[in-house]
Structure 1
Amino acid sequence: MSNLEIIQRLYIAFQERDTNTIREIFDPEIEWIQNEGFPGGGRHIGTKAVLNDVFAKFRLDWDIWQAVVEEWLDAGDTIIVLGKYCGTYKTTGKSTTAAFAHVYRLRNGRIFKFQQYTDTFKVAEAMQ
């Protein structure tokens, strides 16, 4: 399986909430970096931290949350995904759409680093 196919498989696992597949794809010591100001923003180390401190909180706080992929860029050991987040925040009932770029670095068929780039202001608007 190519690195691009691994990342495409990851997004299917995200949609299906398939944590077993996510665990297979993540390096156990993955470094997951989300923009400051974004829910779960900051640096998270390890699969357990990402699943608990990032993904689980989204399921609690957002009625709807999707990462809609618009383009895949294959740079070998680095895969860049461009798209938009769409979500509705439970507390306010407000919706948001915000562009994103996700940069994945892979080694031996597993993601060892993720970096997010997004418009945190658009997400914060829905939360206020």
Structure 2
Amino acid sequence: MSHPTLDIIAEVYRAFDSRDFGMIERLFDPDIDIDQAADLPWGGRHHGHVGAVGFFTTLLAHIDSKVISEHMFAAGEDVVQVGRTVGTTIPGGVEFDLPEVHIWHLRQGRIVGFDAYIDTPAMLAALRQAQTR
């Protein structure tokens, strides 16, 4: 069964796969907060559209990946997505296939927050291995 918040987040994943970053203007609230483990090169807290662009730009400078969604469900206005991120490091081409969880916070049909969780030690190990190639 479709749910409006699930549809919005599915659109985000489709846009990311096609590298359509116009989605930030269309779907993200101007005051969005993005959080991921600060240990990662793209991690930390990113605020607003400029922060979102910085987050995705830095992410794509370090990895070429695709989210494989295994479960996605609405929890009130939030959406929880559980899956894997699969790809390679840039540079170095080290392959990875890691578990991840994304929690999306929506209010009035706009994304106001995105919390990204990944197996951080394993991601850091792949990035370190890429540096030695």
CA contact (8 A) 2:69 2:83 kept: yes
Partner of 1:120: 120
Q: TM-score, normalised to structure 1's length?
A: 0.90
Structure 1 regions of 5+ residues with no counterpart? none
State the 1:36 CA deviation: 2.2
Count of residue correspondences = 126
Rounded to whole Å, the distance in 2 between the matches of 1:92 and 1:82 is: 27
3-12 vs 34-43, greater mean Cα deviation: 34-43
Partner of 2:62: 61
CA contact (8 A) 1:13 1:22 kept: no
Partner of 1:13: 15
Rounded to whole Å, the distance in 1 between the matches of 2:104 and 2:91 is: 31
SS at match of 2:67: strand
1:22 equivalent in alignment to 2:24: yes
1:37 equivalent in alignment to 2:21: no
CA contact (8 A) 2:32 2:47 kept: yes
**Cα shift readout 1:25-50 (whole Å, capped 9, x = no counterpart):** 10011010011222311101001211
Rounded to whole Å, the distance in 2 between the matches of 1:93 and 1:10 is: 25
Partner of 2:131: none
Partner of 1:3: 5
* C-alpha RMSD of the superposition: 1.4
CA contact (8 A) 1:58 1:65 kept: no
State the 1:93 CA deviation: 2.2
Q: Which portions of structure 1, spanning 4 or more consecutive aligned residues, are displaced by more than 6 angstroms?
A: none
How many percent identity over aligned positions?
Answer: 31
**Cα shift readout 1:61-94 (whole Å, capped 9, x = no counterpart):** 33x3111111111112010001111121123321
Q: TM-score, normalised to structure 2's length?
A: 0.87
Partner of 2:92: 92
